[in-house]
Structures are given as structure tokens and as C-alpha cells.
Amino acid sequence: MTSLLAALSLALLSLLSLPAHAADRPYIVANSGAAEEDEEQVWSVENWVRQAGRQKSLTIAPEYAFSPDNSLQAEFRRVVDRDNGNGHEIEIEFKHLFNRIAREGWGWGVVLALDMERPEGGPWTHAATSLSLPLTLQLDEASASLLHLNLGVAKPREERRVFTGVIAAERELWRRTSLFAEAARDREGRLLHAGVRHWIKRERLAVDLAWQRVRSDELRGSGIVLGLAWYDL
């Protein structure tokens, strides 16, 4: 497994990387309030590449679940921008859930994230701190349909606070394959994102293919998102 992860990382690095925030894949911005009952002292590694307009990005995001209710994730990102130059980003995210969706049909929690960024050849600087409250509703147990709502606030460096919001949904259409979509407003602008996730091995290995449209002060464009994720390592 270690050699496989290393090979994937080297392959994806050749694609380089878009700015984004910590999220629960297959989403780019949305966090889930659903606790996985078997996530107890386990690792996961999520990787995705994005392309929109003049930007490309690669993100590698290991996460450790202390328990089904508490997890810590680090996102390491390489950004390439034809006009504004290249750079790196790191985001550290802690999530705590207050209840279990399997017992009550809904779940909610709190997510605290810290962003750091470094332009090519420059120093690391604090980019933003954000707080979000994710709420997840189980719409249909038979088809694993979920609705995610996030409300939060972000404080970019040397800028005013920005209120953020996300609505996202997912539904399993057939065995091991689901459709998902999200609409988000975060500290950088607006995002529309939709695609399909297929489980190569249920709850262990997943691949994502999606389309996105980004609108912000610095970037407007659309493109693809490719993801590959391992769970319960």
C-alpha cells in the first residue's frame, strides 16, 4: 500500500494544482455531518486534481479519525496559475460531530480550519481561519440519499470576515456508483460542482469524475475534477 500511494503521488504531481478548502470528498467545499460508525483510529488518503480556466491543482489530503466523532485532516496543495504564478497551500482541519446519523437520521458538527499559503520562492503566510457548521440529513436509507448543508464564517488575512454557505447532495443510482453535486459560496467566490463516484472496493477505494465551474475575483472558468481515495487504512 505504501508503494502504491507513493506511485500515485508522483504521477499526480506531474499534473500540478486550484485553490480550495478542506472538505469531505467527493466534494470540494462541503463537509458532511454523517459519522461512519467503523471509523475508529483509522487513516484515509484522498487525492484529487482540478483544472479550471488558467489554473491547475493537485491536492493530497491524509486524514486520521480518532473516533467516529473526531478527525484531523491535512491538505497539501500545489497550485499552477499561468497569469499569477505558482504556489503551495496547506490547510489543517479539525472536525467534531455531536451525534450519529445512523441512530437519528441526521447529524451535525463543527469544523475549524487554518489555511497557510506560499507563493513560488516566497515565505509561508497565514491565509485564513474558518469555522463551519455542517448538517447532514438522511433522505432515503434504501438509496443512501444524503443532503448536506454548511453555514460558516471565514476570516482571510487582512480582510473582513466573509460568511460562507454550501448545499450538497448525493444519491446512489446503482450498486457502488453515486451521483453528487454541490453549490458553494466561500471566501474566494462561488462554485458549482457535480459528478459521479464509483467504489472500486466498497468503503475502501473510490474514484471520482466531475465537472466544476468557478467564479471569483481572480478566476472564472470551468473544467474537470479527478479524484482517487483510500479509506480505512
pLDDT tens per residue across span 68-100: 999 999 999 999 987 777 899 999 999 999 999
Q: What is the pTM of this model?
A: 0.85
Whether residue 129 contacts residue 155, with contact meaning beta carbons closer than 8 Å, is answered with yes
Q: Is the pLDDT of residue 55 over 60?
A: yes
Residue 143 pLDDT level (bands cut at 50, 70, 90): low
Q: How many CB atoms lie within 10 A of CB 75?
A: 22
Q: What is the pLDDT of residue 200?
A: 96
Helices (H), the chain: 2-13, 101-104
pLDDT tens per residue across span 158-216: 888 999 999 999 999 888 999 999 999 987 789 999 999 999 998 899 999 999 999 98
Determine which helix (DSSP H) or strand (DSSP E) holds 71, and give its type and residue range: strand 70-81
Query: What percentage of the chain carries pLDDT values higher than 90?
Result: 65
